[in-house]
């Protein structure tokens, strides 16, 4: 008796646990929404199609356009190149599986699948041959927007692959800082960077920390960023020159203002690019070169006078022949100058600027070249 009572208790406990687990499972299902369990979908049965009925109900065919012969083993509704499904995915010569008595169905006209609409060519259209569809790559090339050719090239500004010039800056004959002028030709994209920084002694009285960067994009855009600190003056501006559209977008990040305006020519450049463009010109004494410069929110024509030829001695005591030029720029420019600016460049094909003299509020500033690093263009890569 005790054994039978134990078995009954165990069985009752199992039933209670099973009932409780089912209740918990159903309650969990309610948390995620309503579930409907149905029988699995039966596989599609093979259907015998009465081709005579289907031909009678098909759309009329243009008599001027011969009907294309269908591939062997394809049904009338199957377009050329379509994939076959189910039992028809096998060999083309294999017959369709025969259906049983209950599965042998003839489609009535109302039940027959609607044939795809065919375009009836008009006489004008049918006289012209239909063009073959373009391949994927050719279709993308045909639909892709045409890229405008570059208005400016890297060779107009930089004859080498990389150039880095270092200058010692003096004020009234006393050393006050240094400057680095670096230009790169990266796969046809010119990047020019100028950094000017005062030394420790002068920084306590008149700190100077200027960074100017210019990028030439695809020969149609110039992007310039100018960040300056000279004494109490601070500035963080930038502008983009749209050469092909003859427009400029200028923004002042500190004062939170911007402008967009048109410019009269697509030959416009920023000050740094104009400087490098001048170096690649054939300069003749007594002539004037004209630059189109956008600087300090202003577009202006800047005449550059070629004054004279002059010998000068570099800090390493080497004597070089130079040509002296004077840009007649009305805006303050990069150095926030107050007077004229004179530039001494080597009188050769490179026209390396070896000395720059200008005036600021504190006095006369001179920048003398102390080192130059140049990487020439790889002629073999250039030919490729």
**CA 99, CA 374: separation in Å to the nearest integer?**
85
User: Do residues 169 and 366 lie in contact, with contact meaning Cβ atoms separated by under 8 Å?
Assistant: yes
User: Do residues 192 and 213 lie in contact, with contact meaning Cβ atoms separated by under 8 Å?
Assistant: yes
Contacts of 137 (CB under 8 A, 6+ apart): none
Min mean pLDDT across 35-39, 288-292, 357-361, 376-380 is at: 35-39
Secondary structure letter of residue 208 according to DSSP: B
User: Do residues 149 and 118 lie in contact, with contact meaning Cβ atoms separated by under 8 Å?
Assistant: no
43-52: pLDDT as tens digits: 444 445 455 5
Q: How far is CA 81 from the centre of its chain?
A: 38
The pLDDT of residue 144 is above 60: no
53-111: pLDDT as tens digits: 545 555 554 544 444 444 444 444 444 444 444 444 444 444 444 444 444 444 444 44
Residue 146 host element (H or E)? none
The pLDDT of residue 383 is above 70: no
User: Do residues 132 and 124 lie in contact, with contact meaning Cβ atoms separated by under 8 Å?
Assistant: no
171-229: pLDDT as tens digits: 888 899 999 999 999 888 999 999 999 998 888 888 989 999 999 999 999 999 999 99
Q: What is the largest CA-CA distance in the chain?
A: 131
Distances (CA, A) of 21 to 17, 36, 37: 6, 20, 19
The pLDDT of residue 24 is above 50: yes
The pLDDT of residue 369 is above 90: yes
| Top-confidence residue, 125 or 243 | 243
Q: Percent of the chain beyond pLDDT 90?
A: 42
Secondary structure letter of residue 201 according to DSSP: H
User: Do residues 167 and 358 lie in contact, with contact meaning Cβ atoms separated by under 8 Å?
Assistant: no
pTM, two decimal places: 0.61
Based on the number of CB atoms within 10 Å of its own CB, is 19 exposed (0-12), middle (13-18) or buried (19 or more)?
Answer: exposed
Distances (CA, A) of 195 to 166, 198, 226, 270, 370: 10, 10, 10, 16, 15
- The CATH number that domain 154-375 falls under is 2.50.20
Distance between first and last Cα of the chain:
102
pLDDT of residue 106: 45
Residue 227 host element (H or E)? strand 221-230
Distances (CA, A) of 104 to 74, 100, 114: 20, 6, 21
266: phi then psi, degrees, rounded to nearest 5:
-90, 0
Based on the number of CB atoms within 10 Å of its own CB, is 81 exposed (0-12), middle (13-18) or buried (19 or more)?
Answer: exposed
**CA 206, CA 232: separation in Å to the nearest integer?**
8
Helix (H, G, I), strand (E, B) or coil at 203: helix
User: Do residues 151 and 220 lie in contact, with contact meaning Cβ atoms separated by under 8 Å?
Assistant: yes
Distances (CA, A) of 327 to 96, 289, 310: 89, 9, 17
Across the chain, mean pLDDT equals 75
User: Do residues 304 and 328 lie in contact, with contact meaning Cβ atoms separated by under 8 Å?
Assistant: yes
The pLDDT of residue 301 is above 60: yes
259-284: pLDDT as tens digits: 999 999 999 999 999 999 999 999 99
The pLDDT of residue 34 is above 90: no
């Amino acid at each position: 008796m005790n054994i039978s009572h134990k078995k009954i208790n165990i069985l009752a406990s199992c039933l209670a646990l099973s009932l409780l687990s089912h209740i918990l499972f159903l309650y969990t299902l309610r948390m995620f929404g309503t579930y409907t369990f149905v029988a699995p979908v039966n596989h599609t049965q093979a259907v015998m199609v009465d081709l005579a009925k289907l031909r009678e109900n098909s759309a009329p065919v243009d008599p001027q356009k011969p009907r294309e012969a269908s591939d062997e083993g394809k049904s009338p509704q199957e377009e050329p190149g379509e994939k076959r499904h189910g039992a028809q995915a096998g060999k083309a010569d294999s017959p369709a599986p025969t259906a049983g008595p209950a599965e042998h169905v003839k489609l009535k006209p109302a039940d027959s699948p609607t044939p795809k609409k065919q375009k009836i060519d008009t006489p004008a259209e049918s006289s012209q041959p239909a063009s073959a569809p373009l391949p994927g790559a050719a279709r993308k090339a045909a639909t892709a927007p045409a890229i405008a050719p570059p208005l400016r090239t890297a060779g107009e500004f930089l004859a080498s692959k990389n150039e880095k010039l270092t200058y010692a800056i003096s004020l009234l004959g006393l050393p006050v800082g240094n400057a680095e002028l670096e230009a790169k030709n990266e796969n046809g994209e010119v990047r020019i960077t100028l950094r000017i920084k005062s030394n420790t002694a002068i920084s306590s009285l008149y700190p100077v920390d200027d960074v100017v960067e210019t990028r030439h994009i695809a020969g149609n855009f110039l992007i310039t960023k100018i960040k300056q600190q000279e004494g109490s003056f601070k500035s963080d501006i930038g502008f983009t020159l749209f050469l092909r559209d003859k427009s400029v977008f200028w923004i002042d990040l500190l004062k939170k203002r911007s402008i967009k305006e048109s410019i009269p020519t697509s030959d416009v450049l920023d000050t740094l690019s104009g400087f490098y463009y001048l170096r690649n010109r054939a300069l003749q004494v007594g002539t004037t070169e004209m630059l189109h410069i956008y600087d300090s929110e202003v577009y202006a024509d800047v005449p550059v006078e070629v004054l004279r030829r002059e010998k000068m001695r570099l800090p390493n005591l080497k004597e070089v022949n130079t040509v002296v030029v004077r840009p007649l720029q009305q805006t303050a420019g990069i150095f926030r100058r107050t007077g004229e600016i004179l530039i001494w460049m080597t009188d050769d094909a490179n026209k390396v600027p070896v000395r720059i003299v200008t005036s600021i509020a504190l006095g006369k500033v001179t920048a003398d070249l102390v080192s130059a690093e140049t990487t020439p263009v790889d002629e073999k890569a250039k030919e490729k």
